[in-house]
Structures are given as structure tokens and as C-alpha cells.
């Protein structure tokens, strides 16, 4: 669910990304309570400082809020649709980077994507 990778940049940033991804795919919803920093740290086997740092970043980004004595919650006003689009944009950027790295054109990229159309629908129906 979290997919932490020590080779993939700071762990706090991966935790932030993990929360965004879970919000985008519906595994987490506005108003949901996040585990305590210590619980999550034990689950992920990472330093609690790292989780605290990740939570503070989520709060600065106005994705979560701390309710006194109750814990940390996903804000009710978080824009899940916007988040989905942003994650899609980021994925598109990575894809385009790969295409350019191969010396191919945006036209090739579009063709490759539309050739996957059938597959996409099948997966869409199944999910």
C-alpha cells in the first residue's frame, strides 16, 4: 500500500505521495483519520521523526489537519479530483520524459497510448 523504497528519495516525501495516491484511488477519503505517527512508523519500520515530518508536510499542503486530542484527519475540503488530475499530470510528465529519452516524438507517444485503449477499457470495466 505504501511501497517505500530507500532508493527513491526521502521517505517523508514517499509517505506524502502515498497518502495522495490513496486519496486519489479512493482507499482513503476526506474526513478519514490517519494512524498516529508512531503506529505508522512501526508499521513501515521507519523513524517516527520521518512520519512526523511527512504529516507536517501534509498539514502545510492543507491535505490533513490535527484535531486537538483526537488525532490527524484528512481535511473535508480536500480536492480529490484536483489531486487525481495532478497525479495524472505527473505520470504524463514521466511518460513523456521516457518517450523523449528514447528519441521519439509526442506523436509516437499518443499512438502508443491509443494502442492501449482496448486494454484500458477492459481494466476499467473490471475495476
**List of residues contacting other proteins (CB under 8 A):** 4, 6-12, 38, 41-50, 53
What gap in Å lies between CA 126 and CA 107, rounded to an integer? Answer: 29
Instruction: Give least dist CB 104 to other proteins, A.
Output: 26
Q: Closer CB to other proteins, residue 24 or residue 40?
A: 40
Contact 58, 48 (CB under 8 A): no
User: How many CB atoms are closer than 10 A to CB 24?
Assistant: 18
Instruction: Give least dist CB 61 to other proteins, A.
Output: 18
Q: Closer CB to other proteins, residue 39 or residue 98?
A: 39
Q: Closer CB to other proteins, residue 57 or residue 79?
A: 57
Grid coordinates given for 121: 477499457
Q: Closer CB to other proteins, residue 43 or residue 122?
A: 43
Cβ-proximal residues to 74 (8 Å cutoff; 6+ apart), any chain = 19, 23, 28, 29, 30, 31, 32, 34, 63, 64
Instruction: Give least dist CB 19 to other proteins, A.
Output: 17
Amino acid at each position: 500500500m505504501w511501497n517505500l523504497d530507500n532508493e527513491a528519495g526521502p521517505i517523508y516525501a514517499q509517505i506524502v505521495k502515498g497518502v495522495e495516491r490513496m486519496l486519489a484511488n479512493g482507499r482513503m477519503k476526506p474526513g478519514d483519520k490517519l494512524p498516529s505517527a508512531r503506529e505508522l512508523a512501526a508499521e513501515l519500520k521507519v523513524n517516527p521523526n520521518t512520519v512526523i515530518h511527512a504529516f507536517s508536510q501534509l498539514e502545510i499542503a492543507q491535505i490533513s489537519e490535527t484535531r486537538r486530542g483526537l488525532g490527524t484527519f484528512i481535511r473535508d475540503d480536500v480536492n480529490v479530483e484536483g489531486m487525481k488530475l495532478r497525479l495524472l499530470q505527473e505520470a504524463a510528465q514521466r511518460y513523456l520524459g521516457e518517450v523523449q529519452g528514447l528519441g521519439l516524438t509526442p506523436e509516437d507517444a499518443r499512438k502508443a497510448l491509443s494502442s492501449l485503449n482496448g486494454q484500458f477499457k477492459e481494466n476499467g470495466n473490471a475495476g
